[in-house]
Structure 1
Amino acid sequence: MRLLCRAERHFDALAYSFLVIGQSMIPIMSRCTMEMIERWSTKDVKKHEIDVFTELKPSSADIIARTAFGSSYAEAKQIFELQQEQLLLEGKIQSRPFIPAVRFIPTAFNRHCWRVEKSIEELTLRTIERRTQCRKLDQHEDAQDDDLLGLMIDAMEDRGVERRTMTMGMADIIGESKTFFAAGQETTSTCISWTLMLLAAHPEWQERVREEVRTACDAVGFPTSDSLHRLKLLSMVLNESLRLYPPLPIMLRMSKKDVRVGKTLVPKGTVMMLPIIAFHHDQRYWGPDANEFRPDRFRDGSSKASQSKSSVFLPFSSGLQFCIGQPFVLQQAKIVISAILLHYRIIISPQYRHSPIFAFILQPEFGIPLLFESI
């Protein structure tokens, strides 16, 4: 998930917030995942078809709303629904011919876009102010105040977190909350969907991962914080899925100063487009089988994988602007995929049409229908 810092001055605050709440997220993710599995189990047939790309979106939104906003869950759902509409509007804008300055003209479409944006900011601000006011009225610790919103408010007020973190402003919190919802939900559900498709298309790897999950979760029957670290094969599969189908295939970066890349001078203020998906399929780094699904390339000790990881494997970006929500994405993906494999054998549906398209994220144009066979 791409929670990109808007300024280096509050990067430490956000990164530390994710480290603090990382373990507390897992029970919430597990609970939401089991609710989804229980909905699927109500079907009477032994084998049924599910479009995982469509089905995983509300579950992912549920997890984000509960982990990020906790006690403000209802308000978070409203913000999410508005941001879903905003993504649809963004798609319409991208499909239109570019005309300079047309976005400033108060057309009916532009006015609607402005209203949606204003509503999102007002709801987010209202949620933050309500949480802040509750803290002032009640000195006792809120049982659900250790969510992402609570920790960002701590960073803003410079209390509750270690002094090494740097103060955030209200505008920073609003911006990061919006980014967390918009980027996190789409990228996480898409990552899981592509991974399930690949496991369905490669049953030998599906069986290997299922056996690993059974072994790791033997004591409790469900992934925990301890068992997640033992899912080595699943980690390899996730990395290979992120290589083949990076949720954000293109990244934009602006140079903060004049820099020289090789023999090329890049002036300050230049906006550069980084084709992540091209890096991930470059045969110079990944070999002649770069377009094939081969998770073994990420096995520990693989010299080829080690070289590629540090240079051209960039699903979560790199450097100071790397995605600090990476643990969130990988934890949720491991929990959801593990739970599904423990309950179902998945098979590619005859209705599936492979057609990845770039629409803000790399998503399947016709969904990902899979056949789920109860185990």
Structure 2
Amino acid sequence: MWGSARRFACIALSTVCALIGGSALATGSTIQAAPQAQHSGDFPGVVNSYLNPSVSKVVDWENRDYSLTCDDTVNKPVKVAIRSGKGVAKADGIGGYDRWEVAVQRTTQGKLPHLGNVTAVLFYCSPQPSNFFTQELRVYRSNDGSEIARTPHLSGGDWLPPEYQPESVAIRKGRIVADLKFYGPGDPHGSPSRLRHLGWTWDGREFVTREAPGRIDLTRERITVNGMGPLKLDMSRDEAAKAIGMPIPGEEGRRVCTDFSVQDGPEGLLLRFTSDRLVAIYVIRPATTISTLSGMHIGSARDDVLDTYAGEITAITPDYGGEELVFAPSAPEFAGKVIRFGMSDGAVETFIAGERDWAVFAPSCGAPE
């Protein structure tokens, strides 16, 4: 439970500080905001904007003064001197706290209709003492650094507010876009899991929030013999990339099949293509949380796998040794498709699902070129 200082922090903010997960289905342009739960580390997710070649060279965005509210922690903006991407505010009017610890998490530049060249800056702000942080996204004219406006602050409804994924903030096709993780039922404090893609457009007076078609959180999808969520066997690579909203980079290798990773997707999730056709989905470590529709995953016990697919699973000993458990559903519509589990020490070490001829561990397919 929070101590008295933290209870005071909540009262000062006039917000309800919930420490449990819940539904966060805010839509349209009426999304509201609240402070966020603080994670470990001084400034999580801080990105060095000097590494982004698109950032304006006219204004030094990591060494200048800004006026911030710590995402509406206070009503009147407070001047914060940012140097080398970080700063501390100790002035009056910071909401009864000792200080704000502030960092630039992301800067990105582009063109917006009616505004021209702009730079969006994502700020991280942690009032101290407290156990939460906030983020606010503000937009400036790239040529002189003058502020245009900030995007509306966001809320998870009755639960903790969502968190920007800093590397996703960008300006594309006349809008500012970003991935945010919202809290869902059962999510622990500090671990929102529901990924949504939001966009902001300028209506002549302010930035308006819209749900934008975007990337799919593949960690939340389940694998079947037919695919994984929007990913379906027989898709081309372009079709698969559009379905999940993320690139699948590289070129098919010289072997008969190629295992591709999804850019910004889960590490250990591989999409197997042959002749530009998705034929299997392969899961290796460290993707231990990705599971089949029936809940089997890396680390599942051998007996659990056998019980789950009882009557439709066979244990085999491949030429290279070890043991494989092969689930081959009997329904006619699944004919020729399997989920193959590679076993080690009585537990699942890896698994692959798809067309029988391609859902195999050896010989391995090549990496993309």
Larger Rg: 2
| Alignment TM-score, normalising by the size of structure 1 | 0.22
- Which is richer in helix? 1
TM-score calculated relative to the size of structure 2 = 0.22
- The structure with the greater share of residues assigned to strand is 2
Higher relative contact order (CA 8 A, sep 6+): 1
